[in-house]
Structures are given as structure tokens and as C-alpha cells.
Amino acid sequence: KQEVTQIPAALSVPEGENLVLNCSFTDSAIYNLQWFRQDPGKGLTSLLLIQSSQREQTSGRLNASLDKSSGRSTLYIAASQPGDSATYLCAVLTGGGNKLTFGTGTQLKVEL
Amino acid sequence: GAVVSQHPSWVICKSGTSVKIECRSLDFQATTMFWYRQFPKQSLMLMATSNEGSKATYEQGVEKDKFLINHASLTLSTLTVTSAHPEDSSFYICSAREPVRGRETQYFGPGTRLLVL
């Protein structure tokens, strides 16, 4: 059974800092890995999707890496802003490309 | 990008009543839709996979007679929580997969918050 863990569970940083969020998964037989953002009481916003054959993806201040063999991914956020405050979820697609398993989430707070 | 809507966004009901939540793909046809549940401070847990025109596939531990899923068309799936109880209070999120983009792309709805009194 695939299990996805995210560290840290919560993070508070001052504005402008660069930060790294970690995601690990137990079964390396994945199709892809995706990072989402969730604001309080809201649905999910997809940030980055990395296919199993890829090493990283970048979008603006966000960079996600994937080490499939070790079961790890990191989300790097450069020059953090208060608007980045949210819960960040990683999810891996397995089960014949049909099942998304979500991590436990990292609650990020960027303070002025 | 593809848009998925959910209705209602908020529902409060009395214990013992049934609640229906709709999930619609607005600008694409979705042969497969997924229903997730999220309890406070926890991550999303897949409840069931809904395929148009066939019975839903439920995850282990999810009661199919309590959570009725109907995927009658390529743009609409419904989740009915039957005889709801306070422990069913949760945030329910659906997602839809767009076939032409490949099986890896799921688009998520904004969620429905259910509070059972």
C-alpha cells in the first residue's frame, strides 16, 4: 500500500526566505508526482506535475524535484511571500494510473 | 484549463437525513470521476472511483450503501450521503479525469463542506 509522508507538518518563515518542503513515498512504482496548494476551506490548485521519467519541473518561483528510486520529492519555493501561505500537498499516481495518494501536507505560513 | 464545479459548496443538515453533492465537468467530458474526503487537519482520502455508466469502485473501509455514487453522464457524478450522522461531517472533494489529456490529469472541484448536526 502506497504511503506518502510530508515533512515538516508545519512551517513558519519570514518573508523573502527560500524554503524546501519534503515528500516521501513508499512505493517507487509511480506514474507521476504532483504538488498542490490548498487554501483554508478551499479545493486544490495544481502547482507542478513531474512525470516518473523526469527529474524536475519549474514554474516561476517554484521548483520541484523527483528522485523516484529513493522515493523522494522536494518543492523549493524561492523568495517566499505572504501570499504563499497555504497547505502544500504532494500526491503520487499509482494503481495503473488511476489512484492518487495524497501526503499529509505541510502548512506554510509566511510572515511579514 | 478544464473546470470542475461542485454543488453545493456548503450544506448543513440534521442527523438522519440524506445529502446529495453534485460534481460537474464544465468544459470537458469525464469518463472517470473521483470522490475524496478530507477531515480537519488531515489529507485527502480517496473514497471511490466513479466510471460513467457503470458501478463505482469503493476504497476499502468506505460503505457503498452509505455513500451512493451515480455517474449517469459524462459531465455529472453525484455523491449521496445517506442517513448522515455527525461523524460524516467532512470536506468532500471530487475530481475528474479528462481522457484526451491522458490518464494522468485530474482536475479538482472546489469542495463541499458538510456539517451534520
Say whether pLDDT at B8 is over 70.
Answer: yes
Name the pLDDT band for B102 (thresholds 50, 70, 90). Answer: low
Nearest to A97 among B43, B103, B113 (CB): B103
| Contact (CB, 8 A) for A5 and A24 | yes
Distance (Å) from the alpha carbon of A29 to chain B's nearest alpha carbon = 14
Name the pLDDT band for A89 (thresholds 50, 70, 90). Answer: very high
A contact set with B (CB within 8 A): 31-32, 36, 41-44, 46, 49, 51, 89, 91, 93, 97-105
Alpha carbons B51 and B19: distance in angstroms, whole number = 21
pLDDT at B29: 87
Find chain A residues with C-beta within 8 A of B11's C-beta: none
Q: Which of A28-32, B70-74, B88-92 holds the top average pLDDT?
A: B88-92
pLDDT at B98: 77
Name the pLDDT band for B22 (thresholds 50, 70, 90). Answer: very high
Q: What is the mean pLDDT of residues B11-34?
A: 93
Phi then psi for residue B29, to 5 deg, are -100, 130
Name the pLDDT band for B100 (thresholds 50, 70, 90). Answer: low
Beta strands in chain B (DSSP E): 4-7, 10-13, 19-25, 32-38, 44-51, 57-58, 67-73, 76-81, 90-97, 106-108, 112-116
B51 touches chain A (CB under 8 A): no
Say whether pLDDT at B9 is over 80.
Answer: yes
pLDDT at A8: 93
Distance (Å) from the alpha carbon of A53 to chain B's nearest alpha carbon = 13
Nearest to B104 among A36, A89, A97 (CB): A97
B101 three-class SS:
helix
Mutation for A interface: B31, B44, B113, most A CBs within 10 A: B44
pLDDT, tens digit (0-9, with 9 covering 90-100), for A65-79: 999 999 999 999 999
In terms of Cα–Cα distance, which of B45, B48, B52, B56 is closest to B91? Answer: B45
- Could you give the percent of chain A with pLDDT greater than 90? 85
| Contact (CB, 8 A) for B93 and B79 | no
